[in-house]
Amino acid sequence: MTGRRTFVLVDGENIDATLGNSVLGRRPLPEERPRWERVKSFVEGQWGQPVTGLFFLNASNGSLPSSFVQALLAMEYRPVPLSGRSDEKVVDIGILRTLEALLEREDADVVLGSHDADFAEHLTRLLGGDRKVGVLGFREFTSTQLAVDGVTHFDLEYDVRAFNAELPRVRIIPLEEFDPTYFLR
């Protein structure tokens, strides 16, 4: 791999839990889940360079959701199935280790798909120089600790348009984005 590249690190458990518990109030149906290929295309378009998608999965139970893994592979994501002890947050540990390894890569930009404050320190350490750092998720549920100068925030629904249907979210609308016709439907 040569040239500048963006690594999209997806905390699948965190995105899914936030979507289910905080946005929908129930387990998401397959058609209500993000279209991950749109995430890669969006980031590629935003930062104008190739994207490598890494999707972290907890495989501690000894099995993989094979149809989902096949879908990830078809979208050119690299599944990262991790296992560990029941007291270990294997996905978080895997992402933290990956963020640490990316510190050594000056040619790597990073977008983290998570709402979790556990990654704030590592993201902050990635800032500086020419590196671009971003966070991807639902803005209203993203930890305020991830709101650091220099970190770009991308909303999965409003910026990326990663969903086929509108989600039942209420958000604060900056006046310059306000379109009254939306509310007149």
Q: What single DSSP character describes residue 156?
A: T
The token duo for 69 is 């893994």
84's tokens: 């560990």
Q: For position 2, what pLDDT does the model report?
A: 56
Instruction: Kindly state the helix (H) or strand (E) to which residue 10 belongs, with its residue range.
Output: strand 5-11
User: pLDDT 10s per residue in the chain (185 long)?
Assistant: 458 999 999 999 999 999 999 999 999 988 899 999 999 999 999 999 999 999 999 999 998 889 999 999 999 999 999 999 999 999 999 999 999 999 999 899 999 999 999 999 999 999 988 999 999 999 999 999 999 999 999 999 999 999 998 898 887 888 998 999 988 98
The sheet with strand 151-155 has its strands ordered as 77-82, 51-58, 5-11, 108-113, 133-137, 151-155
User: Residue 20's pLDDT is what?
Assistant: 95
For residue 29, give the amino acid letter.
L
What are the beta bridge partners of residue 56? 11, 80
Q: Give the separation between CA 102 and CA 122, rounded to whole angstroms.
A: 10
Nearest 5°: phi and psi at 78? -100, 110
157, 150 Cβ separation under 8 angstroms: no
Give the model's pLDDT for residue 170. 82
Cα distance between residue 32 and residue 26, in whole Å: 11
Domains of the chain listed by start with CATH number: 5-183 (3.40.50.1010)
181 residue type, one letter: T
Q: What share of the chain is helix, strand, coil (3-state, %, to 5)?
A: 40, 20, 40
Tokens 């709402």 correspond to: 115
